[in-house]
Amino acid sequence: MMNNGIVDDITHVFATHKRRTYLTVLPVAEMAIVEVQRFPSVGDNDNDEVEKLEEEASICPTVRAIKSTPLGSTIVMSTHRSAIYGVLSNGNNEEDDGCTGLGLDTSNSADFPKDDEGKLDSGYSDLWKITIDANGKASLVERLILDFDLD
């Protein structure tokens, strides 16, 4: 089975609470034989209440989950547009409550394209592959754009 190297070494797959983010990352998770973890946890209940959660509702739970993965983890993550910078950058949280983001430099327009308003300008098929090194530091491996057949 050809996977273009995307699923090599993946240990965790995360998606925010939006159904669309779950569906975006699901094919990769299935190929990597890793369960998709959604934050906040919605289980199998994909209803209107879940979709109507505040846009920022996923940031803290997702950041905390990623930070709690074992050192050496490789993560693939899908998030909705308004949460991506809060999860991957240092965020806007002044307190050290585990929600300050992963500390990635989001200024690279190739990996983090921005629209005229400075918001993430990406499609529904964007994923981010992240590693957590032996010191607990997150690094972006690559931005994946799933516009090809994974099989």
Is residue 104 domain-resident? yes
Is residue 1 domain-resident? no
Report the range of poorest mean pLDDT among 18-27, 81-90, 101-110.
81-90
Beta carbons within 8 Å of 149's beta carbon, 6+ residues apart = none
Is residue 17 domain-resident? yes
Contact between residue 24 and residue 125 where contact means Cβ atoms under 8 Å apart: yes
Is residue 53 domain-resident? yes
Which of 47, 114, 46 shows the shortest CA–CA distance to 84?
Answer: 114
Is residue 101 domain-resident? yes
Is residue 3 domain-resident? no
Q: Which has more pLDDT, 18 or 45?
A: 18
- Sort strands 126-132 and 138-145 into parallel, antiparallel or unpaired: antiparallel
* Total of domains in the chain: 1
Is residue 30 domain-resident? yes
Q: Which has more pLDDT, 139 or 100?
A: 139
Q: What is the pTM of this model?
A: 0.80
Is residue 122 domain-resident? yes
pLDDT number for residue 42 = 62
**Can you give the residue range of the structural domain that contains 141?**
12-145
Gap between the Cα atoms of 4 and 13, Å rounded:
17
